[in-house]
Amino acid sequence: MVEKKKISRRKFLVRGGLGTAGVLAVGAYIFRNPIRRSILNMVNTMEMSYMGETKNPMVWFEILKNNTILLHSPKVEMGQGTFTSLAQMAADELEVPFDRVEVVHAATATGNIDGMSTGGSTSVSGLWQPLRELAATMREMIKVQAAVKLGVDIGSITVKEGMVSADGRSMTYAEVAEGVTEWPEVDVPKLKPVSSYKFVGKPIPRIDLEDKVFGTPMFGMDASAPNMLYGAVARPTKIGATFVSADTSKAAEMPGVVAVVEESDFVGVVAETYQQAENAKNAISIEWDAPNNLTTADIESMMTVGNGKSTIIQKEGDAIEENDDRVEVLEFRSPIGAHAQIEPNGVLASVEGDKVTITISTQVIGITRTEVAQRLGLDEENVNVIPTYLGGGFGRRLHTPHAVQAAVMSKAVGKPVKYFFTRKEEFQHDMFRPPTHHIVKGRLDPEGSLQSLEHHFVSGDVGNNSVLIPNFVPPILGADIGSIRGGFVQYTGVPNHRAVYWHVQLPFATSWWRSLGLLANTFAIESFMDHMAHKAGKNAMDFRMACIADDEMGKRLKATIMAAVEKAGYTEEVTNERAMGLAASVDAGTPCAQVAEVSIEDNEIVVHRVTVALDPGIAVNPDQVRAQCEGCVIMGMSAAMHEQMFVEEGELRPIIYGPYEMAFMKHAPKEIDVVLLQGIDRPGPVGEPPLGPIGAAVGNAVFRLTGKRLTKMPLRLP
């Protein structure tokens, strides 16, 4: 008889929170609203510092016999170019040629484990200080050791291009390191001036470029092991489905099936080939309790400002009063968005006795290790997580509990087990970008200056209920730190302004999607600003400039807007049936302005050219900063103009590329100009901020062409 198991889908998706590291641990005091607001504002603008080992160079660097320095990166490379920037920073302080630094993912067994995740656009900015200090310390350690080996005073040692020299003699770093089992401890030396760097600040081709062009890098999907078997895990198609019972008798008899694995929270099969595992999975007969037949309209009606719980996250001056007929009000919506990264989630797990090896595309190496260790009742040291290149991250891999399932299956069969999601499973069991609804209100004074601006918005979970945010945090903060990204009014020069966040709990999982709330929030606020500029009879740039405060961030934002306007040759005239739209945002301390040049052809919006001005501070690799800007523009266009998940008969659909409309080559602008500014003297976040303005920039251009304000993503002509 098949045992009945009651498991909620929630349990498939969410596991207990992590520790409290780095997150506020202050008590009820914070519930006082002004303090809560100031903390939320801080959380919104702060750059996360790196939360891992930053003192011991030996954990980070390995000097190989061929005089190459191996950098064990705790950050994963998912396309954002982090490996290249880290190598540039390390090479400069180590005093080695750039091509003598190789970067690999640090397996957890090496000890270099990120306390948090790869995400939030923080890899380069967060490691800027610690990594250069580690590299400089390593260099000094090499000098001390060289002095011993050469029998000279340390003062006479010089280093250059991976060589130490003294008194006319020289050694490679590798020769210095040979036979050394214990390195001398040295103080962290003073860092070199940034202006003296040879590699930082240069557009060096990315370090993984050639490998990726010849098809050699290993992604999680490419992992294999001797005697490896394939696993598959049954999943429901309906939202909110709970497990009732499973009949696995037929699956167990299928060709190639080695085992059926029934656990308290999943049912899987292990077989000799991928096809056999999939066939057997499909032969499992599962009864799900699927209580609903939800539709997209149901979700939209839930996701409406006024539903759920609210928190005022920003407040200055007076609220706009009801029934004030001078007030302009517009409503905006954004849909459910899928990550749709091309590499499906997958993992190879190998359990041998009390040792586990997990090879996986993940953004949360440490959390994955903890989850596997806990489930198998092992010490974390017994679980080695080997990260691979990611075939896209975008936040989708900020929770990878399938590692646990693979480990359980591997333990059951005593062999390595690989398993990955089908594309249908990817689409139906994504951790989606939540849909949003926004009401934006504003009031002009008689001279056409903006006197009041309010952004009221509702979102599902982004950070809340994720493994990265401990459960006690959301009630304290009163707002989801992901949903509110970009939700603050950046026009703090407007005398009366506020932002009010509402939270609605959706019946399916939503979470981190590149740039979080930024795209939808900026779409709402910046479309509205364009509307108000038009009402005021003012140029969109001049109107915004008057609303931006003259503080440090305001000055940087103004400079990016001016740079974008100038580079694009921004005009509000329609020329050759093309029009321009302007929008700007500040995300995680990085301001970005964009101008989209648009026409309408065969009743479709065509984006010809996008100009991006970004102030990331120091661009460690300007070419890769540009690449991030280009990628954000295209991914943002895809999300703002094409993509939408629907809810039909209680299922999330579509389940495949194509029906899930996305930007293709033909939709991408043929020109993307990027202007980089440097308003601060350190690197700031880059990987997400340029995703903010694009939806509004396109919508604002369409307004110039048609006189119609687009208020719903994906943008469709009326």
Residues at the interface with other proteins (CB under 8 A): 78-81, 205-206, 208-219, 221-222, 224, 255, 273-275, 339-344, 389-394, 420, 422-423, 623, 627, 630-635, 638, 656-658, 662-670, 672
Of 572, 442, 574, nearest in space to 495 by CA = 442
| Nearest-approach distance from CB 479 to other proteins, in angstroms | 29
Residues in CB range of 266: below 8 A, 6 or more apart: 12, 233, 234, 405
Distances (CA, A) of 605 to 524, 701, 711: 19, 10, 15
| Nearest-approach distance from CB 441 to other proteins, in angstroms | 34
- Residues 451/495, Cβ–Cβ less than 8 Å: yes
Question: Residue 406 and residue 356: Cα distance in Å, rounded?
Answer: 11
| Nearest-approach distance from CB 279 to other proteins, in angstroms | 10
> In what side-by-side order are the strands of the sheet with 671-676?
579-587, 590-601, 604-614, 671-676
- Residues 432/510, Cβ–Cβ less than 8 Å: yes
Compare residues 341 and 466 and give the one whose CB is closer to other proteins. 341
Give exposure, 470-508, as e/b (b: 16+ Cβ within 10 Å). beebbebbbbbbbbbbbbbbbbbbbebbbbbbbbbebbb
Compare residues 263 and 623 and give the one whose CB is closer to other proteins. 623
- Residues 699/581, Cβ–Cβ less than 8 Å: yes
Residue 70, number of CB atoms within 10 A of its CB:
14
Compare residues 220 and 482 and give the one whose CB is closer to other proteins. 220
Give exposure, 289-327, as e/b (b: 16+ Cβ within 10 Å). ebeeebebeebeebbebeebebbbbbbeeeebeeeeeee
Output the DSSP codes for 166-189.
ETTEEEEHHHHHTT--SPPP-PPP
| Nearest-approach distance from CB 77 to other proteins, in angstroms | 8
Compare residues 500 and 610 and give the one whose CB is closer to other proteins. 610
Compare residues 423 and 535 and give the one whose CB is closer to other proteins. 423
| Nearest-approach distance from CB 634 to other proteins, in angstroms | 3
| Nearest-approach distance from CB 86 to other proteins, in angstroms | 16
Compare residues 472 and 657 and give the one whose CB is closer to other proteins. 657
Distances (CA, A) of 190 to 50, 133, 702: 20, 8, 53
| Nearest-approach distance from CB 664 to other proteins, in angstroms | 6
Compare residues 392 and 470 and give the one whose CB is closer to other proteins. 392
Compare residues 669 and 679 and give the one whose CB is closer to other proteins. 669
Q: Which two tokens stand for residue 485?
A: 């990204």
Question: Residue 252 and residue 39: Cα distance in Å, rounded?
Answer: 55
Question: Residue 179 and residue 550: Cα distance in Å, rounded?
Answer: 59
Compare residues 97 and 344 and give the one whose CB is closer to other proteins. 344
Question: Residue 261 and residue 665: Cα distance in Å, rounded?
Answer: 43
| Nearest-approach distance from CB 549 to other proteins, in angstroms | 33
Compare residues 392 and 487 and give the one whose CB is closer to other proteins. 392
| Nearest-approach distance from CB 335 to other proteins, in angstroms | 17
| Nearest-approach distance from CB 468 to other proteins, in angstroms | 21
| Nearest-approach distance from CB 59 to other proteins, in angstroms | 26
SS3 content of the chain, % helix, strand, coil (to 5): 30, 25, 45
Q: Would you call 449 exposed, middle or buried from its count of C-beta atoms within 10 A (0-12, 13-18, 19+)?
A: middle
Compare residues 80 and 368 and give the one whose CB is closer to other proteins. 80
- Residues 620/201, Cβ–Cβ less than 8 Å: yes
Question: Residue 372 and residue 69: Cα distance in Å, rounded?
Answer: 31
